[in-house]
Amino acid sequence: MPPSANIALLQGTLDVLILKVLALEPLHGLGISRRIAQVTNDTFQVKPGSLFPALHRMEEAGWLSADWGESENKRRAKFYRLTKRGRQQLKQETDNWGRISAAMAGALEIP
């Protein structure tokens, strides 16, 4: 499959990707989208219509906090960062994905 192919995100995948990229540093929406593309070798291209509802939902859940600031191109942007609860959620999600990955790897092994 070519790296530019549009892959549908499994439920929960977007959340863990957002949490992971924000564990490194606070970012605005476009920065989050770019970083996800970067860390997944362009496998996941997150569109605003998926990203912003997820960010708002995660903020309401207490996983993220946000502050207005200035982006690198001098525009006003909302910067998101992980909260303590968000770091706990990242740990839980990472553990879950470890189990899912191991199970899928085992299921897909060629006998």
Q: What is the pTM of this model?
A: 0.84
Closest CA to 19 of 97, 108, 80, 95: 80
Span 13-108: which CATH code? 1.10.10.10
pLDDT at 59: 96
User: Are 94 and 16 in contact, with CB atoms under 8 Å apart?
Assistant: yes
| pLDDT at position 40 over 70 | yes
> Is the per-residue pLDDT at 95 higher than 60?
yes
Kindly report, residue by residue over 4-23, the tens digit of the pLDDT: 444 555 667 899 999 999 99
Question: What are the residue ranges spanned by the domains of the chain?
Answer: 13-108
Residue 73 binned pLDDT confidence (cut-offs 50, 70, 90): confident
